[in-house]
Chain A
Amino acid sequence: DTAVSQTPKYLVTQMGNDKSIKCEQNLGHDTMYWYKQDSKKFLKIMFSYNNKELIINETVPNRFSPKSPDKAHLNLHINSLELGDSAVYFCASSQYREDYGYTFGSGTRLTVV
């Protein structure tokens, strides 16, 4: 009954590969997000997405793209992986205009070698 679940939890891959991280939420929230946490523990927003609007952080390379097959899923596709993409990626969700904050997944640790 996990609220926000991500798979895989760990991902090790070589430079140049293309990979995807999946995220699903069963909270009925209408907005989902992807955050990146780097080695210095900074959490930075990458994307926010609901049925009407995709907001992309301008610092995110276009090798990263979110894919949302439906309201409960927001997957992250990464093309041509680079060493600097190594980080922990968190998926989160929230309900518009409600005050209980974001619910985060447990993260996917991506290591590019």
Chain B
Amino acid sequence: LAKTTQPISMDSYEGQEVNITCSHNNIATNDYITWYQQFPSQGPRFIIQGYKTKVTNEVASLFIPADRKSSTLSLPRVSLSDTAVYYCLVGPMNYGGSQGNLIFGKGTKLSVKP
């Protein structure tokens, strides 16, 4: 599975837009990009997934350039409750079995201040 590189930490203030970039230079043709959020003492929670261009849901947007070697998670108008660790993962869509075991990196610790 493709290795990912993210900033270790980021700071922001309430109401700001936060963009977290992930590098995945050796992404494969059948790989998708998925982001998870983890609060202390909880399991990771799925945020968004995409393959190319832009994906948006009620929580975030995901921007993927044409070469797919990086991606950016965009969180609009963050609040204190968005303080968490954000993981970028790259892997095939076929979850389950040997094809779908997600590998988590260190993630980005986002701290939102008042």
A interface list, Cβ under 8 A from B: 4, 30-31, 33, 35, 40-45, 48, 50, 52-53, 55, 57, 90, 92, 94-107
Given contacts A94-B96, A104-B44, contact A33 B85 (CB under 8 A): no
Give chain B residues whose Cβ lies under 8 Å from the Cβ of A43: 44, 87, 104
> Which one, B43, B46, B96, B102, contacts A96 given CB within 8 A?
B96
Give chain B residues whose Cβ lies under 8 Å from the Cβ of A44: 103-104
Give chain A residues whose Cβ lies under 8 Å from the Cβ of B101: 33, 45, 48, 55, 57
Identity of the chain B residue whose Cβ is nearest the Cβ of A107 in the assembled complex: B43
**A43 CA to B87 CA, complexed, in Å:** 10
Give chain B residues whose Cβ lies under 8 Å from the Cβ of A102: 36, 44, 46, 95, 102
- Residues A107 and B41 in contact, CB atoms below 8 Å apart: yes
- Residues B96 and A31 in contact, CB atoms below 8 Å apart: yes
Majority secondary structure, A binding face: loop
Q: Is B29 located at the chain interface by the 8 A CB criterion? A: no
- Residues A101 and B85 in contact, CB atoms below 8 Å apart: no
Identity of the chain B residue whose Cβ is nearest the Cβ of A45 in the assembled complex: B101
- Residues A100 and B43 in contact, CB atoms below 8 Å apart: no
Interface residue range, chain B: 20 to 34
Q: Is B106 located at the chain interface by the 8 A CB criterion? A: yes
Identity of the chain A residue whose Cβ is nearest the Cβ of B102 in the assembled complex: A102
Q: Is B94 located at the chain interface by the 8 A CB criterion? A: yes
> Which one, A4, A53, A57, A101, contacts B97 given CB within 8 A?
A53
- Residues A50 and B97 in contact, CB atoms below 8 Å apart: yes
Indicate with 1 or 0, residue by residue over B34-62, a CB within 8 angstroms of chain A CB atoms.
10100001111110010000000000000
Chain A nearest CB: distance from B62 CB in Å?
Answer: 13
Identity of the chain B residue whose Cβ is nearest the Cβ of A54 in the assembled complex: B97
Q: Is B100 located at the chain interface by the 8 A CB criterion? A: yes
**A53 CA to B101 CA, complexed, in Å:** 13
Given contacts A92-B43, A103-B46, contact A48 B96 (CB under 8 A): yes
Query: Would you list 21 pairs from A and B whose C-beta atoms are within 8 A, ordered by A residue?
Result: A33-B101, A40-B106, A41-B106, A43-B87, A45-B103, A48-B101, A55-B98, A90-B44, A94-B96, A95-B95, A96-B94, A96-B100, A97-B93, A99-B32, A99-B49, A99-B93, A101-B36, A104-B44, A106-B42, A106-B43, A107-B41
